[in-house]
Chains A and B, each alone.
Chain A
Amino acid sequence: MRFLTQLSPHRIALAGNPNVGKSTLFNALTGLRQHTGNWPGKTVSSAQGTYLHGGQIFEVTDLPGTYSLFADSAEESITRDALLFEAFDAVVLVADATALRRNLPLVLQVSEVLPNAVLCVNLMDEAKKHSISIDTDALQKALSIPVVTASAGRGDGIQGVRDALLRAVRHKRVAAGKRVEYPLLAERAISMVETALAPWAGTAISSRHMALQLLTGEEHLLSHVGEAYLPSVQEALHRARSFLHHADITAEELQQMLTESLHQKSAAMVRAAVSQPQELRKQKAKADAIFTSPWGGFLTMALLLSLLFYLTVKGANLPSSALQRLLFSALPHLRAFLDGCGAPPWLTGALADGIYRTAAWVISVMLPPMAIFFPLFTLLEDIGYLPRMAFDLDACFRRAGSSGRQSLTMSMSLGCNACGVTGCRIMKSSRERLLAILTASFIPCNGRFPTLIALLSLLCAGRSLFTSLGLGILLMLSTAATLLVCRTLSAAAPKSTAAPFILELPPYRTPQIGQVLIRSLLDRTLFVLGRAVAVAAPAGLIIYLLANIPLAGGTLLSSFAAFLDPLGRMMGLSGAILLAFFLAFPANEIMLPALLMCYFSSSTLVEVESAALSPLLLQNGWTAKTAICTLLFCLFHFPCSTTCITIYKETGSIKHTLAAAALPTAVGMILCCGVHLLFTLF
C-alpha cells in the first residue's frame, strides 16, 4: 500500500534547557521506536527515535540539555556541535512554561542557527497551577517561529508538535527568525568573520553563529572549516580579534555582552507575552525537608541505597539459581548433540564447556540482579532524587577537589563503569571531569555484583540482610577511597579556580512506571548484559583452552597460577585468584567462572552450583582472610577492557588510561597486603 509519499526521513533535533521535559516529549513522539544501546538516562549522549506522521518519516534526535550554545561542559558541547554542524531539517525547542525568561535565550540562539524551528512551551499544567498565562500569539509574533503548547507528561499537545513539524518540513523556513541585534562593536567583529566563513558555510551552516563561537574562544571549531577556506577565515579572525582588542574587549567580555543582549531581549518578550503573579515560589517541597535535612539527608541516602541493595540481593536469589539450573541442564544435551555431529572432543569441550557454560553462567548470575537493580535505580532517577544526593554530598566532594556532580557519575558507575565514564561529561571543568574519570572504576559495577554477593554470602552464611549490608559497607569503602584519591590528586595538581557549582533541583515528579521499566530493561539491562555475554563467551573459550592445554605436568592455566602464586600470597590471595582477576579483564563477570576453571583444571569439568561454592573454596585453601582480600581486590582493581577503551575515547590520552588502570590496582594491592599482614600478626 503506497501511503508513504516520502521515504527519506526528516531529521529533527530536540533541544532545550535541562529538566524541561525534553525526554518526556521525545518518548511521547517516538514511543518504543527508539535507538537503544546507549545510556540515555539523563541524556549524556543523544538518543534517536522515529515516528510516522502525515505519510512522512521523522527521525528525532534528543540532544543533551543545555542552557546556552556557549557550552559549559563536554555534554553541552555535544548539543552545540550537533546543532551547528549536523544537517537537521528542523528543530523543536522545548521550554519550561514556568521559566520562560531563562529558557528563551537558548531559543533565540538556536533559531539563529537553525531558522526552521518550532517552539514547544511545555509544562503548561505546572504553569496553570501557578497562575501563569502565556499569550502564544504574541510570542509567535515576537520570535517569528511557530509556537505550540504542551504538557508532555500528560500527553497533551503531542499531536500539535507533530503537526507543527509536518508544516515546518513542508514549508522550510530559510530566512533567519528575528535575529538578536548585538552591540555595535560586537556586530562589526562578527561581520568580519562571518563574511570570511560564508563561502565555506553556504546555506548549510550558520556562518554568523560560527563567527560568534570562534570569537568567544571556541577556536577548535576551526577544524571543521574546509582546508581551502581556512587561511582567509583565520586572517579574518585575527583582524576581528585585534579590532576587539583595540576596543578593550576580551573574548570573555564579548561572550558576556552577547549573553546580556539575549537575556534583555528574552526579558522583553516575556514581559509582553507572559503574565504571572510577582510572587516567587517560596515553597520548599515536603520531600526536600527530609532529603536535605541535617540528619534526614544522609540517613535517607543510606536507607535508600541499603533498600536498593537488599531488594537486588534478595530478589535475585531464587531467579538466579533457577536460571542456572535451567541453562546448565541443557549442557549434557548440547554435548550429546555436538558428539553426535561428529565433533572432536576438544571442540565439544571448547564449545560446550568453554563458550556455552561461561555464557550461561554470566546470564544466570547477572540477569536477575540487573533486572531488579536497573529498574529500581531508574525509578529513583525518574522521581528526581539524584540531584538532592549531589546537593547533600557536594561539601565532601568540594574538599576533595571535585563537586557533588561526581556522585551522579558514581551512581552511573554502579550500573556499569563504562557508562559512568561517559557520564563524566556532565562535569563542569576539565579537571573535575578527569578526576571523575580516573576514579570511576572505584565503584563496583553490576558485573562485579555476582562475585561480591557470592563471597559476601559465604561470609554471612547466606543471610540476605547481612549480605546487602555488606554490599553497602563495600560501597562506602569505595566512596571513601574515591574521595581520598581525588583529594590526593587535587593536592598534587596545580591550583586552579574551581568552576562555579550551580545545580538545578527540579521539582519531584511522579515516575512514569511504564517508561521506567522499558527504558531500564531494554536500554540498560539488556544492553549491559548483551555486551557482557559478547565479551565473556570468547573469553570463556580462551580460559577453557588454557585450562586444557597441557604444560609441564599441569596445564597452561595451572602454570600461570603457579607463577603468580608468590605475588598472590603476599596479598592474602593465591596465584589462581590473581590469575582469575587477570582473565576477567575482558569482563568482570567471568572472574568466578575463571577461578572455578582454575580449580578444576586438572579434572573433568563438573557443574557448579552456588551452594557448592563454599566446600570447593575451602578445599582449595580458602579462609575468611582470603574471602576478605578477594572482596577488596574485586572492589579495587584495574577496570575492565570496555571501561579502559571508553576512558581512552573520552580522554584521548594513553597516559590517563594507564593512570586510571593503575590507581585502583595500587589501592587494592595496598589494602590486600595490609589485611594479609594484619591476619598474620594476630
Chain B
Amino acid sequence: MNRTFTLASLPIGESAVIASLAADTSACRRLRELGFSQGNEVHALFRAPLGDPTAYAVCGTVMALRRSDAEKIFLLSSGKA
C-alpha cells in the first residue's frame, strides 16, 4: 500500500520519490523548477545546526528547504524508506 508522507518527515540519510506537490501554486512553481517535481528522487542529506532548514540532494544538486516548504511536497512511501 502506498501511503503518502511529506518531505518534512523524511529522515536524514533516507531517499524517496516525489509523488506530488501541494496545491499552493506560487510556492510550488519554484519548487518544481528547481527539481522538486513529480517522479524525481530526493535524498535528505543534513540539517542546519538549529534544526531548520534541511539540505536535500535532488536533480543533480543540493537544495536547502525549510520545514514549512518541505511539508508541501508529498512522497511515495516505498519499501526502501
Interface residues of A in 281-309 (CB under 8 A from B): 281-282, 284, 288-289, 292-298
Report the nearest B residue to A70, measured CB to CB: B29
* A102 on interface, CB distance cutoff 8 Å: yes
A residues in contact with B52, CB < 8 Å: 394-395, 398
* A263 and B33 form a contact (CB under 8 A): yes
A263-B32, A280-B41, A502-B30 in contact; A394/B65 too (CB < 8 A)?
Answer: no
Residue A96 lies at the interface, judged by CB distance under 8 Å to chain B: yes
**Of A68, A102, A297, which is within 8 A of B49 by CB?**
A297
A105 at the interface (CB under 8 A from B): yes
Q: A105-B33, A256-B25 known; A505 and B48 CB under 8 Å?
A: no
Complex contact A500–B33 (CB within 8 A): no
B-side contacts of A502, CB under 8 Å: 30-31, 34, 63-65, 69
Q: Which residues of B20-66 are within 8 A (CB) of A?
A: 25-35, 37, 41-43, 45-53, 55, 57-66
A501 located at the interface, meaning its Cβ lies under 8 Å from any Cβ of chain B in the complex: yes
Distance between Cα atoms of A249 and B47 in the complex (Å) = 38
Residue numbers in B under 8 Å from A260 (CB-CB): 32
B64 touches A501 (CB 8 A): yes
Q: Determine the chain A residues whose CB is within 8 A of the CB of B33 once the complex forms.
A: 67-68, 102, 105, 259, 263
A:248-281 near B, CB below 8 Å:
252-253, 255-256, 259-260, 263, 280-281
The answer, among B26, B49, B65, for a CB contact under 8 Å with A292, is B49
Say yes or no for A677: interface residue by CB 8 A criterion.
no
Residues of A within 8 A of B30 (CB): 67, 72, 500, 502
Q: Is the CB of A280 within 8 A of B15?
A: yes
Interface size class of chain A, counting residues whose CB lies under 8 Å from the partner chain = 35 or more
Inter-subunit contact A394/B61 (CB<8 Å) = no
**A59 contacts the other chain (CB 8 A):** no
Q: Tell whether, in the assembled complex, residue B46 and residue A102 are in contact, meaning their CB atoms are under 8 Å apart.
A: no
A489 sits at the interface (CB 8 A): no
Q: Are B59 and A284 in contact (CB under 8 A)?
A: no
Distance in Å: Cβ of A76 to nearest Cβ of chain B = 11
CA distance A391 to B51 in the complex (A): 11
CB contact between B55 and one of A98, A292, A295, A404 (< 8 Å): that residue = A292
Give Cα A160–Cα B55 distance, bound, in whole angstroms: 36
A256-B29 contact in complex given A99-B61, A263-B37, C-beta closer than 8 Å? yes
Taking the complex as formed, is A504 at the interface, i.e. its CB lies under 8 A from any CB of chain B?
yes
Which of A256, A298, A500, A505 is close to B62, meaning CB atoms less than 8 Å apart?
A505
Contact of A501 among B25, B50, B66 (CB under 8 A): B66
Set of chain A residues within 8 Å of B49, measured between Cβ atoms: 292-298, 392
State A294–B12 Cα separation when bound (angstroms).
Answer: 14
In the complex, which residues of chain A have a beta carbon less than 8 angstroms from the beta carbon of B50? 392, 395-396
Interface of B is mostly: mixed
- Nearest neighbor of B68 in chain A, beta-carbon distance: A498
Closest residue to A403 on the B side, CB-wise?
B66
B53 contacts A394, C-beta separation under 8 Å: yes
Q: Which residues of A contact B69 (CB under 8 A)?
A: 500-502
Contact across chains for A504 and B63 when beta carbons are under 8 A apart: yes
Known: A68-B33, A256-B25, A280-B15. A102 touches B59 (CB 8 A): yes
Q: Is the CB of A398 within 8 A of B48?
A: no
- Give which listed residue, A70, A256, A497, A501, contacts B65 with CB less than 8 A: A501
Residues of A within 8 A of B63 (CB): 502-505
Whether the Cβ atoms of A503 and B60 lie closer than 8 Å is no
**Cβ contact of A282, chosen from B32, B35, B45, cutoff 8 A:** B45
- How far is A282 from B56 in the complex, measured between Cα atoms in Å? 9
Q: Does A101 contact B (CB under 8 A)?
A: yes
Measured in the bound complex, the distance between the Cα atoms of B46 and A297 in whole Å is: 12
Given A284-B45, A501-B64, A502-B64, the answer on whether A259 and B53 have CB atoms closer than 8 Å is no
Known A99-B60, A259-B32; judge A252-B53 contact (CB<8 A).
no
Is B45 within 8 A of A252, CB to CB? Answer: no
> In chain A between 8 and 55, which residues have their CB closer than 8 angstroms to a CB of chain B?
19
Chain A min CB distance to B73 (Å) = 11
> Using an 8 Å CB-CB cutoff, how does the interface string of A98-112 with B read, 1 for contact, 0 for none?
111110010000000
- With an 8 A cutoff between CB atoms, is A332 at the interface? no
Residues of A within 8 Å of B43, CB to CB, are 280, 282
Provide the bound-state CA to CA distance between A439 and B31, in Å. Answer: 29
A502 and B68 alpha carbons, distance in the complex (Å): 11
A-B contact pairs, 8 of them (CB 8 A): A99-B60, A102-B34, A292-B46, A500-B31, A502-B69, A504-B61, A504-B63, A507-B62
Give chain A's interface residues, CB within 8 Å of chain B: 19, 67-68, 70, 72, 96, 98-102, 105, 252-253, 255-256, 259-260, 263, 280-282, 284, 288-289, 292-298, 387, 391-392, 394-396, 398, 404, 497-507
